[in-house]
Amino acid sequence: MAIRCALVRAFVFVLAVIFGFAIIGFAGYGPGARLSNFRSSTPNRLKETDVISLMGKSLAPAQYQYRHEEGSVVETPSEKAAEAPFATETASTSKLDSGEDQLEAVPGDVAKTSDLCYQDRQLSRDESYNFFEDTSESWAARKKVHLTQMKLQQKNKDVLKACTNPMSNTFWDAHYEPSFSCAHQRRVGRWGDGGKWVCDPHTIAQKATSKDRCLVYSIGSRGEYGFEQSVHNEISASCEIVTVDLQHWSKYTERTPPDYVKYHVHEIGPAKKGKTDISALVKLLNHSNRVIELFKIDIEGSEWRTYKSWLGEGVFIRQIQVEVHGLHEGVRVAHDFFKFLFDSGYVIFHKEPNLECYKCVEYSFIKLRPSFSEDIPAPYAHCSSGDNAMSKRQSHGFMDEPDVSWRKRRAIHKAQHNLQMKHLSQGLASMLEARWFWDSQYNPTFSCVYEQRIGKFGAGGKYVCDPHKITASAESTSCLVYATGSPGVSWPFDKSVQDQISKKCQVVHLDPTKWDVDARIKGTKPNYAGTSNIPDTYKSLGHEGRTIDILQIDCNGCEWTSFQSWFGDVSKLDVFIRQILVKVYGVQQGVSVVNALFEMLHKKGYVIFHKEADLVAKGNNIDYSFVRLDQTFFH
């Protein structure tokens, strides 16, 4: 694995020199805390079937329908609000990538939290080990998404059980999707191989300068310190960073580790096999019972043989960022690996295939109490969150969250977008497979707290931003979905919308191919427009003035030649599409066309909230999910 990736990287470097392209640079991660005691909470419980009405009450948009006008509870910790997304001391200390750019400061007067609101957030604090402060209603919605996703995973568990290929990318395409989403998750580190997704790094940064302190472990180095550098520069210079490798750094490089890195030589694994387990390591380093905020481990396939040695007496790991390599040990071992982490309280909040080898996948986990995966709580009390007008206004009424939290979203988007602009490739993709281009281009810049996969795992499933809000809208006003490229055989996306969002959603199929062209099709003709021109269909069906909640596009490459027709002429007919779920196929039309599509969507106010590689196609095709925000979000 290591040799192959090294050869591939060398090949890319030679091409980059020939064509004068800069290979994408460094960045990183970070922080920590001490485990403390928590007050237990025993709220009333609801059946899972009751949660829709619960979520619809306060989390659904307040009867917002877009009127074709562009532009048309303070989340308070017990002390004071977070000043900046990744600031550890002041906003000016936060850096991006090489340290040249600074993140937008988040201003900070916050009202004192009432006892009622404090109690309302107690369950989220308790079940997240004091990492999150959600209202009971918001936390219930998170649990609902988690339970739904885990049921899908269980249903999918035996798919490909007879798989005999130990490097099967098909397995990863159909298994182990995220069941949790962090509102302010961010990719920390360089784009492409080496970057990691961290849940709410600003929360870790705040802990770094408190009495909790910050402890980060990086397992597997090979003389490279990009991750450690990013922890230090982008999260907090106060983080204590421990790097562990089975060989001394001088075996890999003449460059000494940075001053802020404590380098130790150990082979991580079971003690009974003569290796060092993490329990013994934290005891040796006097870290027993301290919170390891980030545990990054990349040990080239040894994760399958060592994972049970990561946890143990005196070890508390908040987040695990691990790259899994193929299926060298077999499918059963992979299932056991995830079961072990799930049973230990970890949930997946991000999944990113490494498209350099496409059979390797980066997973990010966060630890929650086992009770999070049990039943759904009834709300403790109604807690007024204060000023949340900004999120409503800038999301066209779709989102409703405290201004303090929303400003963090804006700062994260700005940071990620600036990185994208730095790293835009202008021609390298035409020389290599498309997956090389997608590996380092166009990553998510926004996160939906309740995003959920609609449809099955693997091909056909799509990620939708906060679908329960579309459910509430369908019940109170309307729900309109356009889908293109449907083959007419099983209408999988249509059925998934009806089953998982609302049977009241009106789904219109746009496809120039006759819907019953396949003789196997039986039953009633669906709501079928027989065209791929969205504005014309929108007008002819009498949908003017209505919001298209979801536009799903999967048409085997037609996206590159049709994207200019997705929207009408603003001066005549402005088609408002809330979310766009599009599968892009390769880069056959050239990088300039790819960039033009993404630039158009950005100008229209769309942000990427999910990116998923099609691993059956070896990562050459990508599913993107966008949500539309007001132009004021970007300024």
The string of DSSP codes covering 420-468 is: HHHH--SSGGGGS-HHHHHHTS-------TT-EEES-SSTT-EEES-HH
pLDDT of residue 177: 93
Alpha-carbon distance of 30 to 462, in angstroms, equals: 30
By CB atoms closer than 10 A (0-12, 13-18, 19+), residue 167 is middle
Of all helices (H) and strands (E), which one includes residue 562? helix 559-562
pLDDT of residue 572: 58
pLDDT of residue 209: 84
Alpha-carbon distance of 542 to 465, in angstroms, equals: 26
Which residues of the chain fall below pLDDT 50?
Answer: 1-8, 12-112, 166, 426-427, 429-431, 488-490, 515-525, 571
- For 141, the 3-state DSSP assignment is helix
pLDDT of residue 31: 32
Token couple for 248: 């001394």
Q: Which residues of 336-345 are buried (b: 16+ CB within 10 A; e: fewer)?
A: ebbeebbebb
Alpha-carbon distance of 198 to 194, in angstroms, equals: 13
Name the one residue in this structure whose structure tokens are 């009971």: 136
- The sign of the CA dihedral 322, 324, 329, 335 is positive
Token couple for 48: 């899972």
Helices (H), strands (E): how many in the chain? Answer: 19, 20
* One fold for 32-45+73-88+109-387 and 424-634: yes
Name the one residue in this structure whose structure tokens are 């040249």: 100
User: Using one digit for the tens of pLDDT, what is the confidence trace for 488-535?
Assistant: 444 578 888 989 999 999 988 876 555 444 443 444 445 555 555 788
**Alpha-carbon radius of gyration of the chain:** 24
**CB-based contacts of 490, cutoff 8 Å, min separation 6:** none
Q: Distance of CA 71 to CAs 360, 371, 390, 635, Å?
A: 42, 42, 11, 12
Contact 117, 383 (CB under 8 A): yes
Contact 427, 436 (CB under 8 A): no
Q: How many CB atoms lie within 10 A of CB 93?
A: 17
Highest CATH level, class, for 424-634: alpha beta
Domain ranges of the chain: 32-45+73-88+109-387, 424-634
Token couple for 150: 């885990």
- For 312, the 3-state DSSP assignment is coil
Alpha-carbon distance of 630 to 398, in angstroms, equals: 11
Token couple for 456: 């099955």
Quick one: which of 322, 404, 399, 325 has its CA closest to 363? Answer: 322
Token couple for 226: 């990009």
- The sign of the CA dihedral 190, 192, 193, 199 is positive
Token couple for 339: 């079961």
**CB-based contacts of 368, cutoff 8 Å, min separation 6:** 127, 128, 129, 180, 345, 346, 347
Is the pTM for the entire model greater than 0.85? no
Binning the chain into helix, strand and coil, the percentages to the nearest 5 are 35, 20, 50
- For 540, the 3-state DSSP assignment is helix
Q: Distance of CA 22 to CAs 113, 422, 458, Å?
A: 49, 10, 34
Alpha-carbon distance of 427 to 134, in angstroms, equals: 45
pLDDT of residue 263: 96
Length of the chain in residues, anyone? 635
Name the one residue in this structure whose structure tokens are 């705040």: 206
Backbone angles phi, psi at 34, to 5 degrees: -105, 140
pLDDT of residue 532: 54
Alpha-carbon distance of 348 to 181, in angstroms, equals: 8
Alpha-carbon distance of 595 to 256, in angstroms, equals: 40
CATH number of 32-45+73-88+109-387: 3.40.50.150
Token couple for 71: 């532009």
CA end-to-end span of the chain? 44
Alpha-carbon distance of 572 to 3, in angstroms, equals: 58
Amino acid at 497: V
Three-state SS sequence of 218-279: EECCCCCCHHHHHHHHHHCCCCEEEEEECCCHHHCCCCCCCCCEEEEECCECCHHHCCECHH
pLDDT of residue 539: 85
